[in-house]
Amino acid sequence: MPRRGVAVAVVVILASLIILGLTSSFLVYWAWFSAVGYLGVFWTILGGKAALFFAVFAGSAIVLWVNGYLAHRFARRRGNVHRVDFEQIARGVQTLPELLGLMGQRLPWRLLIAGVAVVLGILVAAGEVGNWGVLLRYAYQVPYGLSDPQYGKDIGFYLFSLPAYVALKNWLLLMLVLSFFGAGAVYWVHGDIEFDEQRRSISAAVIAHGSALLGLFFAVKAWSYGLDRYLLLYGDNGVVVGASYTDTHVALPVLWLLVGLSIIAALACWANLRVRTWKLPVVGVALVLAAPWCWL
């Protein structure tokens, strides 16, 4: 049997096993919920999982594709793709810049970027689908009727809304990190990022793109520190449950400080879109990282 036939047979067998496993699990849960008279709950859970999967997949794939496409477009405009001497490569003389140049010239970048975005989108969505309960509790939340003494928030906020906000924040941070490294890989292959013994350089396009992503990262971190204020009420020091004296008088002011510094760092990174120097982002990172230690 030809190799192609073997590969096709293996793919078909693996796909069949996966489909069989998913189908058997679906039928078992469907039969159980039907037997206990809660078939509507089953369809609600299934709908929540499907909606969350496709929403996360679409959002992740679009974000990753946009960043990869912009990186490819800006790098291509510079015209810095390495020129490769194909006769040298044929003779076996091949250095890293030559290899990168060959990749930059030969790879179908648009198709590759779209494919990577789709694959990563599926993986991220598969990892996030476990938060279907968080989604449904947020969608069907109702007021609890009591407020916490620290912030005056309804208890339902902590039961239904806050977990959803934390999950959304984590997804946004993951997207920014993946976009940063994905775009960086595209720039590196095209020669816009060079770190070797002979030359070390970063193009203006890389600095601008990185500054935009870093600014968004700091903006999301500012929101994250704001959410951490509410998470102080979940504390358990072994004596009392909730925000302790230290949390209220030390941790809370530090979190407010980090919110302000993160906003300043985000604005500095976005201002760097015009200046395009590596110093402003580095100062923003150092400011956010060093301030809590100076405070304490």
pLDDT digits (tens, 9 = 90+) for 209-265: 999 999 999 999 999 999 999 998 887 766 667 777 788 878 899 899 999 999 999
Whose tokens are 């007021």? That residue is: 143
Which residues fall within 8 angstroms of residue 232, CB to CB, at 6 or more apart?
150, 243, 247, 248, 251, 252
Whole-number average pLDDT of the chain: 82
238 or 71, higher pLDDT: 71
Res 18: pLDDT = 66
Over residues 80-119, the pLDDT tens digits come to 444 444 444 444 445 545 555 555 556 677 888 898 999 9
The confidence score (pLDDT) of residue 179 equals 96
Task: Quote the pLDDT of residue 21.
Answer: 66
Phi, psi of 192 (to 5 degrees): -80, -20
What's the chain's Rg over C-alpha atoms? 25
Percent of the chain with pLDDT over 90: 39
Q: How far is CA 171 from the centre of its chain?
A: 5
